[in-house]
Structure 1
Amino acid sequence: MTVNERIKQVRASLNLSQINFSRGIHLSNGYYANMELGNKKANERIIELISSVYGVNKNWLVSGEGKMFSREPDKRLEELIINFNSLNRHFQDFLLDQIKGLVKIQNNKETK
């Protein structure tokens, strides 16, 4: 099995469409679709992104050895990443500020 075939297997096991999977790793859907077809190669950056975003064991992705996932995928985190990546830069910055504010509020409540 090739790296590209393993990437497709990851996407299928996460039950994500090509569009949503490619958004999560900042690739155009066209490039990603061609990658699944074997027309484009998965470079080191793409492999790193898939590993970090979707919790995939990098060794498995490259060589097929070991378990597919290095950690259990967190569906909420995946959904957050996909939606975040679909926002324009202005809204991404706004959302990050909101999250930082919520963390600050939570930390203040926990210290009281």
Structure 2
Amino acid sequence: MTENQRIKIIRKFLGMTQVDFGASIGLTQAGYSDIERGKNNVSGKIKIMLKQVHQVNLAWLESGDGEMIDTFIPTKGWSPEKLADDQKQIENLKLEIDRLNAENKLYRDLLDSKLKMIATLEERFGKE
């Protein structure tokens, strides 16, 4: 099942029309309908709105894991801006991990090259 199919399930579970549900997450009926029909994907911004407005469990939306609606609703120190900032920080950390993995691969390749050079030199030294 796709995210687009799951978002329709959420709307029907909440008993809302496409017009009302779309408006609740900042979309027109046409824009929301495009998501339900699979013409457009569920963007990160829409996911944030689903989480904020309808307490949708994003793990369920993305993969079907867990419950459709989160039972934990943060209250103290929580705001839409904080959530957006946290999402941005998560994305930045993922980018940093990707960069570090690439750098790590370069160092491993360099190490392999040096080990081969040592083996070649040892063979030459041992033959003389």
Task: Specify the alignment match of 2:125 in structure 1.
Answer: none
Q: What is the total number of aligned residue pairs between the two structures?
A: 73
Q: Return the offset for 1:13.
A: 0.2
Aligned residues of 1:22 and 1:29 also touching (Cα < 8 A): yes
Task: Specify the alignment match of 2:28 in structure 1.
Answer: 28
Equivalent residue letter for 1:12: K
Structure 2, unaligned stretches of length 5 or more?
A: 73-128
Instruction: Choose between structure 1 and 2 for higher RCO, CA contacts under 8 A separated by at least 6 residues.
Output: 1
Q: Return the offset for 1:44.
A: 0.6
Matched, 1:17 2:17: yes
Q: Return the offset for 1:71.
A: 3.0
Task: Specify the alignment match of 1:63 in structure 2.
Answer: 63
Q: Return the offset for 1:5.
A: 0.4
Higher Cα radius of gyration: 2
TM (norm. structure 2) is 0.54
Q: Percent identity?
A: 35
Task: Specify the alignment match of 1:8 in structure 2.
Answer: 8
- CA displacement 1:11-59 (0-9 Å, x = unmatched): 0000000000000001111110011001111111101111110011111
TM (norm. structure 1) is 0.62
Task: Specify the alignment match of 1:104 in structure 2.
Answer: none
Equivalent residue letter for 1:4: N
Counterpart Cα distance in 2 of 1:71 and 1:25: 20
